[in-house]
């Protein structure tokens, strides 16, 4: 019997049964053991059996063996990197849903606001959208069961289900006294990997990739076709806050820009099957316009492969802030009883030979001092400085000979800072007041809102009164420094309620300093080579 099957026995048999089988297995296996390491492992497994057996038999209180075994598994994984994870059945199903990019549900984006699960927006074309669910609706019951005070994750579990099944949603709607019931037939809801793709006023295409799921390559290709038909003179691909996803999708999306038979990634691990190379496969290569890729500290994994590969092949100027540095490969294994485990099996390297994995991240994620806030900022800064010093020693080169570095994420060719939010802005966002005000405003003024609508001083003053009634306080200086953001955020939310997510997003990015600086590069540099030269000049000035 193989060790993999043993794990299934531990999870499915009663305590006496699996201990007996465990002991028999250990006895049989040790006869064939050829090294002390294997022999020691099975001795420790036998010790584990003995500890659990004696606890179950003698401990003063009732013990729940299933919980203890899961705790032991998680304790074992605590000794490894933070990306090796054990999933219970619900977690395993949720993880698979996120990577597949679709699920059976209603089609609403929700958030917990106070005690209420509140609809942020219905997704156009979905069952909820067709039934008339609106932004601002507060969900109070699902199939007659109250969800007031329930967490977002628990509420989602109540609302998701098989395609074609029915669910009764009861809501409170602002401006309506009585509760409203909606009987909705669930359908497959597609999670858009590319939520926004449009041409800005200056002729630059903007495309945001939210995550790399099973639909990303097709969505990217379709949206690029649309943008190119509109005659873009340049393209921004926004990967900020993109946590990654499927490795194959990262390779296939890079394919759109570098053509066929180009190596994008290779992996190195313990087992031979973990050592693989990934090449582009399709005769597709977009050309005719310069590309800028935006990243930040929250861009990770597959998004780093995409950005780094575009950099390696000199196909895009990468701007923003250094990415997270998640360059390890995980493989998903299904266990018995719908459990699962995600195991780090290798590290990946992009074509220039650099590994983008930042070991410091793993160290900090596992350090209990960081978890409980017992480490000083000075010590953290020292650790980061030492890691950066080593990172800059790991030198590699792009196809055109530009210098890039390994072991510390993807460094942008041009660093662009993001404006920090004021304390007043953070408080308004924390309480979600611009969203709540927009919902109330649209109930009374929807007919007045057209594309091009702007929040004027009267609406702004009404909002500040609204915020004051919710115990928000501010100084004149704070208000002056936050006024532009507040007006833009209010305008974006109101436009969103009337015309949908994309139109609201177009307004929101007008106040995105990092993006606006990226857009300005196209006016300074008409070609990609000009952009590379400009970035090198700016870097030289910074080092002087």
| Segment holding 309, helix H or strand E | helix 302-312
Q: Three-state DSSP class for 199?
A: strand
Exposure of 93 in the CB half-sphere (CA atoms within 13 A): 11
User: Which tokens hold the place of 436?
Assistant: 């709540």
Question: What is the DSSP annotation of 327-359?
Answer: -EEEEEEE-GGG-EEEEEEEEEEETTS-B---H
φ, ψ dihedrals at 66, nearest 5°: -60, -45
Q: Three-state DSSP class for 121?
A: strand
Beta-carbon contacts of residue 444 (< 8 Å; ≥ 6 apart): none
CA–CA distance, 111 with 169 (Å, rounded to integer): 16
Candidate list 137, 187, 192, 312, residue with the active-site label: 312
Candidate list 138, 172, 321, 326, residue with the active-site label: 326
CA–CA distance, 344 with 328 (Å, rounded to integer): 7
The sign of the dihedral angle between the CA atoms of 230, 233, 238, 239 is positive
User: Which tokens hold the place of 214?
Assistant: 């099973």
Return the residue matching tokens 């069961």. Answer: 145
Q: Is 67 a residue of the active site?
A: no
Residue spans of alpha helices (H) in 350-401: 359-366, 368-371, 377-391
Q: Is 301 a residue of the active site?
A: yes
CA–CA distance, 30 with 8 (Å, rounded to integer): 20
Instruction: Please check whether residue 136 is in contact with residue 173, taking contact to mean a CB–CB distance below 8 angstroms.
Output: yes
Candidate list 121, 193, 301, 352, residue with the active-site label: 301
Beta-carbon contacts of residue 522 (< 8 Å; ≥ 6 apart): 202, 204, 233, 234, 290, 292
Instruction: Please check whether residue 292 is in contact with residue 531, taking contact to mean a CB–CB distance below 8 angstroms.
Output: yes
Return the residue matching tokens 């979905």. Answer: 126
Beta-carbon contacts of residue 344 (< 8 Å; ≥ 6 apart): 80, 81, 83, 84, 328, 329, 330
Q: Is 362 a residue of the active site?
A: no
Q: Three-state DSSP class for 167?
A: strand
> Which residues are designated catalytic?
301, 312, 326
């Amino acid at each position: 019997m193989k060790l993999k099957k043993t794990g299934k026995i531990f999870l499915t048999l009663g305590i006496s049964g699996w201990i007996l089988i465990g002991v028999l297995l250990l006895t049989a296996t040790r006869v064939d053991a050829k090294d002390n390491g294997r022999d020691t492992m099975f001795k420790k497994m036998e010790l584990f059996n003995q500890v659990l057996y004696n606890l179950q038999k003698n401990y003063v209180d009732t013990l729940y063996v299933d919980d203890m075994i899961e705790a032991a598994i998680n304790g074992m994984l605590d000794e490894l990197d933070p990306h090796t994870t054990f999933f219970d059945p619900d977690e395993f199903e949720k993880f698979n849903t996120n990577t597949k990019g679709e699920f059976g549900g209603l089609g609403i984006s929700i958030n917990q606001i106070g005690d209420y699960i509140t609809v942020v927006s219905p997704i156009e074309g979905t069952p909820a959208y067709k039934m008339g669910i609106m932004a601002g609706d507060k969900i109070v019951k699902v199939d007659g069961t109250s969800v007031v005070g329930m967490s977002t994750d628990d509420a989602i579990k109540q609302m998701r289900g098989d395609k074609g099944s029915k669910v009764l949603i009861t809501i409170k709607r602002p401006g309506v006294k009585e509760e409203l019931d909606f009987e909705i037939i669930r359908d497959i809801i597609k999670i858009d990997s590319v939520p926004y793709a449009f041409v800005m006023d200056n002729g630059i295409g903007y495309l945001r990739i939210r995550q790399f799921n099973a639909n990303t390559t097709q969505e990217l290709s379709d949206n690029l076709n649309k943008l190119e038909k509109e005659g873009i003179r340049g393209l921004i691909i926004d990967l900020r806050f993109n946590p990654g996803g499927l490795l194959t999708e990262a390779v296939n999306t890079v394919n759109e820009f570098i053509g066929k038979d180009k190596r994008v990634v290779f992996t190195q691990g313990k087992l031979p099957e973990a050592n693989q190379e990934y090449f582009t496969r399709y005769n597709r290569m977009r050309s005719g316009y310069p590309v800028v890729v935006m990243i930040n500290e929250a861009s990770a994994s597959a998004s780093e492969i995409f950005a780094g590969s575009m950099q390696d092949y000199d196909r895009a100027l990468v701007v923003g802030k250094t990415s997270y540095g998640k360059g390890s490969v995980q493989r998903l294994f299904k266990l018995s009883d719908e459990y699962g485990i995600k195991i780090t099996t290798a590290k990946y390297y992009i074509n220039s030979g650099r590994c983008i994995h930042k070991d410091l991240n793993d160290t900090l994620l596992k350090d209990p001092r960081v978890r409980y806030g017992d480490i000083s900022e000075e010590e953290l800064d020292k650790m980061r400085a030492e890691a950066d010093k080593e990172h800059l020693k790991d030198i590699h080169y792009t196809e055109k000979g530009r210098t890039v570095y390994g072991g510390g994420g993807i460094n942008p060719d041009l660093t662009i800072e993001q404006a920090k939010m004021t304390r007043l802005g953070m408080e308004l966002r924390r309480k979600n007041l611009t969203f709540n005000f927009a919902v109330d405003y649209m109930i009374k003024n929807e007919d007045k809102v057209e594309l091009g609508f702007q929040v004027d001083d009267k609406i702004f003053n009404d909002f500040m009164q609204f915020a004051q009634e919710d115990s928000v306080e501010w100084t004149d200086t704070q208000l002056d420094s936050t006024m532009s953001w507040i007006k833009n955020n209010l305008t974006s939310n109101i436009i969103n309620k009337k015309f949908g997510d994309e139109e609201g997003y177009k307004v929101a990015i007008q106040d995105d300093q990092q993006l606006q600086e990226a857009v300005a590069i196209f006016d300074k540099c008409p070609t990609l080579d000009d952009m590379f030269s400009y970035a090198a000049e700016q870097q030289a000035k910074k080092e002087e």
